[in-house]
Amino acid sequence: MMNSEIELPVPLQRCAFFLDLDGTLAALQPRPEQVFIPEKTLSSIHTLTQAGIPVAVVSGRRIDDIDHLVKPLQLPAGGIHGAERREYSGQMHRLALDADLLTRIGAELGAAIESHPTLYLESKGMAFALHYRQAPELEDEARRIAETLVERYPQQLTLQPGKSVFELKPKGASKGAVIRTFMREAPFDGRVPVFLGDDLTDEAGFEVINEMGGLSIKIGEGSTVAQQRLESVEAVADWLCGLAEQAGNARVEQED
């Protein structure tokens, strides 16, 4: 059941927000580079952070890509499903894979899809995403290719299915793990976590949020462990706008 009027479990000022990007803050597009975040949403996030409410982006994208999409904001971020992380202080952490190994994996994936030009291989530096959004009939073939590579490198890689994509990411990286790490650090620690996401990749995050007594929100249809749902990216924008209005009103009252 969709709910456009989801209530927070505690007052807004006691919350910490973790936001997925593609399919949550931004509508999905045929190619990753075509994605954008509406100005309304960026403005709402800015208002929340100005009110002292921590907001982090937790995405399958690289942090460099996250920064490009949220500029001029710069937020704490978990990129590549947590394989890289930027603290609130700006300090970076990365799960590193051997450069020669990454080159070899990239070459093997490239060779595997050579006969399927409608499959799109995205290199994320320390991970790879095999997109079949423009060729849904090749889902099984894309899965086979991705599974073959993960089976070839089981100590280094794990497979993460998503919406029209199979991602090969460093073993140990998950959105749940990166949210848990953020929640041990200022300014997130001691707050109630709220996480919004739309994909299979977000379920690990929902599980951690639920364990912590926070609020998990699934965007769109599909089975989930999340507690609540919002219908669409537009509904997310409206919900965040409502929270921003609350935060802005609270700041005005404090200044008065």
Point out the residues that are catalytic. Answer: 20
The answer to whether residue 143 sits within a structural domain is yes
| Residue 5 covered by a domain | no
d(Cα 195, Cα 124) in Å, to the nearest integer?
A: 23
Q: What is the pLDDT of residue 3?
A: 62
Domain boundary among 121, 142, 170: 170
- The count of structural domains within the chain is 2
Do residue 130 and residue 103 come from a single domain? yes
Q: Are residues 150 and 244 in the same domain?
A: no
Residue 47 lies in a domain: yes
Q: What pLDDT sits at residue 2?
A: 61
Which of 115, 149, 170 finishes a domain?
Answer: 170
Q: Among 170, 204, 219, identify where a domain stops.
A: 170
Cβ within 8 Å of residue 206, ≥6 positions away: 195, 197, 216, 218, 224, 225, 226
Q: What is the pLDDT of residue 97?
A: 86
Are residues 189 and 224 both part of a single domain? yes
| Same domain membership, residue 158 and residue 177 | no
Q: Domain with 74 in it: what CATH number?
A: 3.40.50.1000
- For the chain (length 256 residues), average pLDDT per consecutive 10? 80 98 96 95 98 98 97 98 97 92 97 96 94 96 98 96 95 96 98 98 98 98 97 98 92 58
Same domain, 29 and 67: yes
Measured in whole angstroms, how far is the alpha carbon of residue 168 from the centre of its chain? 15
User: Do 72 and 104 belong to one domain?
Assistant: no
113 and 135 together in one domain: yes
Whole-model pTM: value is 0.91
Quick one: 40 and 135 in the same domain?
Answer: no
Range of the domain at 154: 99-170
Q: How far apart are the first and last CA of the chain?
A: 40
Task: Say what the pLDDT of residue 136 is.
Answer: 96
